[in-house]
Amino acid sequence: MKYKTLSFENAMKLGFEDDDLKEYGDYEYRMGVFKMEGDKPVEMLGCDGGEPEDNTLYRDWSWIAGALNDAYAQGLSHGMPNAD
């Protein structure tokens, strides 16, 4: 399991299926943090509002996916049961 920061557009290109994302006219600029299975996003954990002042998720929140991945790896190294 990994986490990635993706635009809604890129998430859909990678196979994320959510009709709500298509309703946004500027979905190529809206960003979210996605749980990944392999190279496919399977769950959106959070997103920005998409307004011009909020479109800094990639720059300002880019550390979140890495922190989640590090926490997951630490859990595995400590022998956490059922970690997936």
In a domain, 83, yes or no: no
pLDDT of residue 32: 85
Q: How many domains does the chain have?
A: 1
Question: Which residues have C-beta within 8 Å of that of residue 81, sequence separation ≥ 6?
Answer: none
In a domain, 44, yes or no: yes
- Please tell me the distance from the alpha carbon of residue 34 to that of residue 41, in angstroms, as a whole number: 6
- Please tell me the distance from the alpha carbon of residue 11 to that of residue 16, in angstroms, as a whole number: 5
Is residue 29 predicted with pLDDT exceeding 60?
yes
In a domain, 84, yes or no: no
Question: Which residues have C-beta within 8 Å of that of residue 35, sequence separation ≥ 6?
Answer: 1, 2, 3, 41, 42, 43, 44, 45
Q: For residue 25, give its domain range.
A: 2-77
The mean pLDDT of the chain is 78
- Please tell me the distance from the alpha carbon of residue 77 to that of residue 40, in angstroms, as a whole number: 25
Is residue 13 predicted with pLDDT exceeding 60?
yes
pLDDT of residue 42: 94
pLDDT of residue 18: 81
pTM over 0.85: no
Q: pLDDT (tens digit, 9 = 90+) per residue, 43-83? A: 998 886 665 555 555 556 677 888 899 988 888 887 756 65
Q: Tokens representing 28?
A: 């190529």
